[in-house]
Amino acid sequence: MAQKLWEKSVQVNKDIERFTVGRDREMDLYLAKHDVLGSMAHITMLESIGLLTKEELDQLLVELKSIYASAEKGEFVIEDGVEDVHSQVELMLTRRLGDIGKKIHSGRSRNDQVLLDLKLFTRTQIKEVAEAVEQLFHVLIRQSERYKNVLMPGYTHLQIAMPSSFGLWFGAYAESLMDDMLFLQAAFKMCNRNPLGSAAGYGSSFPLNRTMTTDLLGFDSMNYNVVYAQMGRGKMERNVAFALATIAGTISKLAFDACMFNSQNFGFVKLPDDCTTGSSIMPHKKNPDVFELTRAKCNKLQSLPQQIMMIANNLPSGYFRDLQIIKEVFLPAFQELKDCLQMTTYIMNEIKVNEHILDDDKYLLIFSVEEVNRLALLAIPLSYNNPRSMKYYGQTAAVLIFILYLNALSIFQTWITQGKVGILGATLYMNVPVAVLTTFLFYRLMTINQGRFDAFIYWLQKPFRALAGKFKRKKETP
Would you please indicate which residues are annotated as catalytic (active-site) residues?
A: 157, 279
CA dihedral for 74, 324, 311, 232, sign (positive or negative) = negative
* Rounded distance between C-alpha atoms, residue 292 and residue 267, angstroms: 17
Per the CB < 8 A criterion, the answer to whether 131 and 341 are in contact is: no
> Where would I find the beta strands (DSSP E) of 157-236?
159-165, 193-194, 221-222
Angle at 407 between CA 401 and CA 408, to 5 degrees: 90
Angle, nearest 10°, between helix axes 450-476 and 423-448?
A: 110
Contacts of 7 by beta carbon, 8 Å cutoff, 6+ apart: none
DSSP state of 355: T
**Backbone Cα Rg of the chain:** 39
Question: Going by DSSP bridges, is the β-strand pair 193-194/269-270 parallel, antiparallel, or unpaired?
Answer: unpaired
CA dihedral 449, 451, 456, 458 (to 10 degrees): 160
Taking the mean position of all CA atoms in its chain, how far away is CA 324? 27
List strand residue ranges (DSSP E) for 335-429, in order.
Answer: 352-353
Q: How far apart are CA 294 and CA 284, in angstroms?
A: 23
Q: How many CB atoms lie within 10 A of CB 191?
A: 23
Q: Is 125 exposed, middle or buried (0-12, 13-18, 19+ CB in 10 A)?
A: buried
Q: How far apart are CA 231 and CA 306, in angstroms?
A: 18
Task: Using alpha carbons only, give the angle 119, 125, 130 rounded to the nearest 5 degrees.
Answer: 125
Single-letter amino acid code for the residue at 385: N
Tell me if 46 sits within 8 A of 106, measured CB to CB.
yes
Whole-angstrom distance, CA of residue 122 vs CA of residue 335: 11
The C-alpha torsion from 113 through 118 and 123 to 129, rounded to 10°, is 160
